[in-house]
A and B are shown apart, each in its own frame.
Chain A
Amino acid sequence: MKNVRMWFKKGGAAKYISHLDLTHCMGRALKLSGLPIWYTQGFNPRIYMAYAMPLSLGVSGERECVDIRLTEEDFPLADVAGRVNPRLPDSISVWGVTEPLNKLDAIAFADYELRLEAGDSAGLKSQIEGLFAQGPVIVMKHGKKGDKELDIAPYFSDMALNAGPGYLEAALRLPCSVSGSINPSLLLDALKSCLGLAPYAEIHRKRLLLEDFSEIA
């Protein structure tokens, strides 16, 4: 048995499917790939898949990963993507296959890119900078144990803002781990509750990082 890490991107139409739906799509594609896939050995055998941090609905991802197992130790990894991709929806594709070096639960941060639609992007930029310059920015965080107030300033105040024609880009590095994550969409909540703004935003996860900010491998 061999552990294999598949790297994939999820965007376009697939942005709008949940993590559970993603696992079903991936499961069907793996089943059809003809790869020597390892199944769990329980009463209901299932394809073994372990995902890194799930993407929220509506968020696209560029360097996402899932661990699977192959029953053939010497199966060439270079052949894996070519077998899986024709079976996946166009909006999900595997672009790399490696042997995992880090554990998935070692993920600690993620890099995001937010693209906010803004006619006056320079104006929006200074409004956001002004908001975070003044101190705590309180939003309601929805959790399993109910809603609670959270000051997001520590997480968002050092983001890089780049105003372009018709849009404002924000580059963010946020905690993203099994023990707790900060959702980049909290920035949008803050814009709404503090500034009364609701710009359309595309959220993109660029990469998953370890504790030392190196990319997971």
Chain B
Amino acid sequence: MYPKDIEKFLLQVQKPGRYVGGEVNAVMKDPSKVEVRFAFCFPDVYEIGMSHLGIKILYGAFNQVPYFWCERVFAPWTDMEKQMEEHRIPLYALESGDPVKEFDFIGFTLQYELSYTNVLRMLELSGVPLRAADRPELFNIVVGGGPCACNPEPLADFFDLFFLGDGEEVDMEVMELYRQCKKEGKDKKEFLRLASQIEGVYVPSLYDVEYNPDATIKRYIPQENAPATIKKRVVLDMDSAYYPDSFPVPMIEVVHSRISEEVLRGCIRGCRFCQAGFLYRPFREKNIEVIDAQCRALCASTGYDEISLSSLSTSDYSRLNELIDRLHQWTEKDKVSLSLPSLRVDGFSPELMERINSVRKSGLTFAPEAGSQRMRNVINKNVTEEELLRTVNVAFTEGWTRIKLYFMIGLPTETMEDVLAILELGRKVVDAFYQNKEKPRGKPVEVALSAAAFVPKPFTPFQWFGQDTMETLQKKQRELTGHVRSKRVSVNYHGAKTSFLEAVFARGDRKLCAVLEKAIALGLHFDGWDDCFHFDKWMEAFSACGVDPDFYATRTRGLDEVFPWDHLDYGVTKAFLQAEYERAYQGLTTPNCREKCANCGALCYKGGLCVEKRENVV
């Protein structure tokens, strides 16, 4: 239950339903009967956090254990935050309404670099000291996980430990360890030392960093017997892995008011810009029977009428048509519709469309990512123009008239010609519509081209690449918008400045901790939201700390440079990433994991497609 005092001002803030909890399936426990309390913090607003799958999985997993109680915390929007500070109400958890500072663990999911200021802001609103060193007790242990934990160095001074890889098992092992340490009267130092021995746990304070005179990393020196490299944790068997049979159902509309069923983890594709594609290897599928049972359970507990079959690339599920047929045996009768959030251009077949009859005809989105074939080869997006045109023709025949295409600009080796090829592709889609004899009558075609600025990320073949400068990106954006010739084509681009900042923190090191502290002192947070993003203040924060952001964003690294994330092991080897980097510059593509193993290193986990594939080879 929310703190009663907030009622005094709750009607003065937007969407008060964000702050009151009380949802169906929220887990309530008696605080006197639990031993470890975990505040699961999502560093963005309720509607975004409540649409996130990871929090639902871990919330369910933690709360299965009778003596753990996991509660949810979201970032209050600026209006609420102001009211809370004015009325001296510390950040609270939605289930109990208890202040976050009373929790044993304060855990953040790190999904996006531009949410780092919100992480600090949430600690500040909780009244918890930001720096780990200022929290000497075995209490208020600040932990983090999620994709950005693959280079958590910009947050290293604030966190006690990070979880690398799949969290279903390792998180609870650490909670259990904490419980034992409490019982045995051990101190925080001892707890962290023991935690660092658990696979998948990175305790940043146990590593000293040495720098070269040119400010690059010289080496990481482990202390207290901490491992030299920290391996990510992998849950290999998706069928037996924990999956929730219920989750809190928001009373207000959130971004995705539906069930997310994870059908597979990992991706076979190896697109060179895509961090998730490398972080989540190996590729692991769930069985149809397991998916079916999980979907039934979630429908029975939530009352939602839509199931999204989620993954990085759902059309790569090996038996997708069979899966959908199986689900249709009961979903149609139960008035539940299915949706596929991430369709590849080459995964869109008439057979599939017949099965997903519920997809609204309002618009279809595909991501060719680059305009020219040359560029698509560089990024290993193995999709051809012919495939795209075939796909849009299927869509037109099936009655769609609005097509949205996602692209990136600022990719390695990109020329202005490549950028303008985006418009060319848009024009060809329009032409395809007019040449299609079965197109819907009386409706004009609309092609929306969306160009995001490329951000190089750790653990990708482009981790060495210096991002295009903001000037170059803006020039490319101007060229794009300046050359639109058709009324049926629209172009939009977003954020050279936000992409720059994202690039700084994606490949940042510990020197950025001070910048983050300065940034929140300057009032910066919710940087992913246009109305809260203040680039000039960010530059002020960098210069106040004597940090050059270009060093992190636009500098091309030498192949022998030690990265701030080199001591973290995600299975994929640096040698493989380098080979892919070199192939990219030669315009050579690499087959997907199903066609041919590329020896990325993920075989070390001895599971998933890596193993299945080899069995087939033998």
Q: B154 to nearest A CB, angstroms?
A: 36
With A16-B10, A16-B16 as given contacts, are A28 and B252 in contact (CB-CB < 8 Å)?
no
A13 touches B303 (CB 8 A): no
Q: A15 to nearest B CB, angstroms?
A: 8
CB-CB contacts below 8 Å: A4-25 with B: 12-14, 16-18, 20-21, 24-25
Q: B180 to nearest A CB, angstroms?
A: 35
Give the CA-CA distance A12 to B300 in the complex, in Å.
Answer: 26
Complex interface: stretch among A68-76, A82-90, A136-144: A82-90
Of A16, A32, A89, which one neighbours B23 at CB under 8 angstroms?
A89
Contacts of A45 in B (CB 8 A): 335
Contacts of A200 in B (CB 8 A): 7-8
Give the CA-CA distance A47 to B21 in the complex, in Å.
Answer: 26
A58 within 8 A of B: yes
Give the CA-CA distance A12 to B23 in the complex, in Å.
Answer: 12
Per DSSP, are chain B's interface residues mostly helix, strand or loop, or mixed? loop
A13 touches B252 (CB 8 A): no
B257 within 8 A of A: yes
B22 within 8 A of A: yes
Q: B29 to nearest A CB, angstroms?
A: 15
With A16-B10, A25-B251, A45-B335 as given contacts, are A89 and B24 in contact (CB-CB < 8 Å)?
yes
Q: Which of B7, B22, B251, B257 has the most chain A CB atoms closer than 10 A to its own CB?
A: B251
Contacts of B302 in A (CB 8 A): 28
Contacts of A12 in B (CB 8 A): 1, 20, 22
B10 touches A39 (CB 8 A): no
Contacts of B612 in A (CB 8 A): none
Contacts of B251 in A (CB 8 A): 13-14, 17, 21, 25, 89
Q: Which of B21, B24, B304, B335 has the most chain A CB atoms closer than 10 A to its own CB?
A: B24
CB-CB contacts below 8 Å: A77-116 with B: 87-91
A2 within 8 A of B: no
A31 touches B303 (CB 8 A): yes
B11 touches A57 (CB 8 A): yes
Q: Mark B1-40, 1 if CB is under 8 A from A, else 0.
A: 1100001101100001101111110000000000000000
Of A14, A27, A57, A58, which one neighbours B22 at CB under 8 angstroms?
A14
B550 within 8 A of A: no
B609 within 8 A of A: no
B226 within 8 A of A: no
**CB nearest to B252 among chain A residues:** A21
**CB nearest to B300 among chain A residues:** A32
B249 within 8 A of A: yes
By the criterion of a CB under 8 Å from any partner CB, how many residues of chain B are at the interface?
A: 26
B305 within 8 A of A: yes
The total of Cβ contacts below 8 Å across the A-B interface reads 65
B249 touches A28 (CB 8 A): yes
A87 touches B24 (CB 8 A): yes
Contacts of B301 in A (CB 8 A): 32
Give the CA-CA distance A24 to B21 in the complex, in Å.
Answer: 16
Of B11, B249, B252, B300, which one neighbours A17 at CB under 8 angstroms?
B252
B253 within 8 A of A: yes
Contacts of A24 in B (CB 8 A): 253, 257
Give the CA-CA distance A98 to B319 in the complex, in Å.
Answer: 49
Give the CA-CA distance A39 to B257 in the complex, in Å.
Answer: 20
B20 touches A16 (CB 8 A): yes
Contacts of A88 in B (CB 8 A): 24
Give the CA-CA distance A216 to B252 in the complex, in Å.
Answer: 29
Give the CA-CA distance A98 to B473 in the complex, in Å.
Answer: 65
Q: Mark A18-48, 1 if CB is under 8 A from B, else 0.
A: 1011001101110110000001000001000
Q: B3 to nearest A CB, angstroms?
A: 12
Give the CA-CA distance A16 to B15 in the complex, in Å.
Answer: 8
**CB nearest to A31 among chain B residues:** B303
A13 touches B2 (CB 8 A): yes
With A28-B304, A89-B251 as given contacts, are A16 and B24 in contact (CB-CB < 8 Å)?
no
Q: Which of A13, A27, A58, A88 has the most chain B CB atoms closer than 10 A to its own CB?
A: A13
Give the CA-CA distance A18 to B301 in the complex, in Å.
Answer: 23
Give the CA-CA distance A91 to B252 in the complex, in Å.
Answer: 13
Give the CA-CA distance A94 to B19 in the complex, in Å.
Answer: 24
B303 touches A91 (CB 8 A): no
Give the CA-CA distance A39 to B8 in the complex, in Å.
Answer: 40
Contacts of B2 in A (CB 8 A): 13
Contacts of A21 in B (CB 8 A): 17, 251-253
With A28-B303, A58-B11, A200-B8 as given contacts, are A90 and B253 in contact (CB-CB < 8 Å)?
no
Q: Mark B434-476, 1 if CB is under 8 A from A, else 0.
A: 0000000000000000000000000000000000000000000
Q: A188 to nearest B CB, angstroms?
A: 10
Give the CA-CA distance A9 to B17 in the complex, in Å.
Answer: 17
B20 touches A13 (CB 8 A): yes
B252 touches A18 (CB 8 A): yes
Q: A201 to nearest B CB, angstroms?
A: 9
Q: A37 to nearest B CB, angstroms?
A: 10
B17 touches A16 (CB 8 A): yes
Contacts of A31 in B (CB 8 A): 303, 305, 335
Q: B47 to nearest A CB, angstroms?
A: 12
**CB nearest to A88 among chain B residues:** B24
Give the CA-CA distance A91 to B300 in the complex, in Å.
Answer: 21
Contacts of B19 in A (CB 8 A): 16
Give the CA-CA distance A16 to B8 in the complex, in Å.
Answer: 12
**CB nearest to A202 among chain B residues:** B7
**CB nearest to B22 among chain A residues:** A13
Contacts of A17 in B (CB 8 A): 17, 251-252
Interface set of A (CB-CB < 8 Å, partner B): 12-14, 16-18, 20-21, 24-25, 27-29, 31-32, 39, 45, 57-58, 87-91, 200, 202
Can you list 19 A-B pairs with a CB-CB distance of less than 8 A?
A: A12-B1, A13-B2, A14-B251, A16-B10, A16-B16, A18-B252, A21-B251, A25-B24, A27-B303, A28-B24, A28-B302, A32-B303, A58-B16, A87-B24, A88-B24, A89-B23, A89-B251, A200-B7, A200-B8
* 6 smallest beta-carbon distances between A and B, as pairs: A28-B303, A13-B22, A13-B20, A16-B16, A32-B303, A58-B11
A-B contact sample (13 more), CB < 8 A, given A13-B21, A16-B20, A21-B253: A13-B1, A13-B2, A13-B22, A16-B11, A16-B16, A17-B17, A17-B252, A24-B253, A25-B251, A31-B303, A57-B16, A58-B11, A87-B24
